[in-house]
Amino acid sequence: MAKRLFIALELPETCRKTLSALNPNLKGLRWLPEHQLHVTLSFIGEVDPTKEELLRAALGKVRIPEFFLPIQGIGTFGRAWPTVVWAGLGNAHPHLFVLHRRVQDAVLRAGLEPDLKPFHPHITLARATNLSSAALLPFLRRYAEVELGLWKVIGFAMFSSLLSRDGPRYTLEMRQEFRD
């Protein structure tokens, strides 16, 4: 049976707790549950079991040095009527972009279509519906440049996602550390 897969960086619990605590509790803003916070490296979509095994093997060969990544600043996608509130990753460490490219190469080696959208690394914190940017402005100003955490990236993970009325449910499918 096919699974809906994506590759992501897992956040340490301390970072997830810090980000969850930022919830301004605004009407029209659905803050994501703490356990769903991550940095997507590549959304792959529906993958059959044979291709999944090829993908696991290709991802298992991805290696880069461990690195530290800051969580810094809050922003939105969508101008006057934002759709997503996100936490930024500072100036996004060059190793993160190397990792993204190597993950995309692994997806290709597995015979799958890589995520071709431009890579804008972030952590999705909330989804907005009928919420103006003006209503979010005090919150965004307060956290625009704030350091919200720093963590050592030692690997990445593959998750499956099952969509439901209550939002997606993520299942860890594999974890890959950079060191042997």
Instruction: Write out pLDDT tens, residues 104-123.
Output: 999 999 999 988 888 999 99
pLDDT in tens, 145-157: 899 999 999 999 9
37: left (phi over 0), alpha (psi -120 to 50) or beta: beta
Decide if 120 is catalytic: no
Indicate if the pLDDT at residue 172 is higher than 60.
yes
Residue bearing tokens 């690997």: 155
Q: Tokens for 176, please give them.
A: 């890959």
At residue 92, the pLDDT reads: 66
At residue 168, the pLDDT reads: 84
The Cα angle at residue 51 between residues 45 and 55, in degrees rounded to 5: 80
pLDDT in tens, 41-80: 999 999 999 999 999 999 999 999 999 999 999 999 988 8
At residue 95, the pLDDT reads: 93
Decide if 122 is catalytic: yes
CATH of the domain at 64: 3.90.1140.10
Residues 6+ apart with CB under 8 A from 72: 87, 88, 89, 90, 145, 146, 147, 148
The arithmetic mean of pLDDT across residues 89-116, rounded, is 92
Q: What's the CA gap between 133 and 40, in Å, rounded?
A: 24
Supply the Cα-derived Rg of the chain in whole angstroms: 17
SS (H, E, C) 133-144: HHHHHHHHHHHC
pLDDT in tens, 8-21: 999 999 999 999 99
At residue 165, the pLDDT reads: 81
- How many domains would you assign to the chain? 1
Domain limits for position 45: 3-177
- Mean pLDDT (the chain) is 93
Res. 1 pLDDT band, cuts 50 70 90: confident
What are the CA-CA distances from residue 31 to residues 24, 28, 61, 81, 103 (Å)? Answer: 9, 10, 35, 16, 28
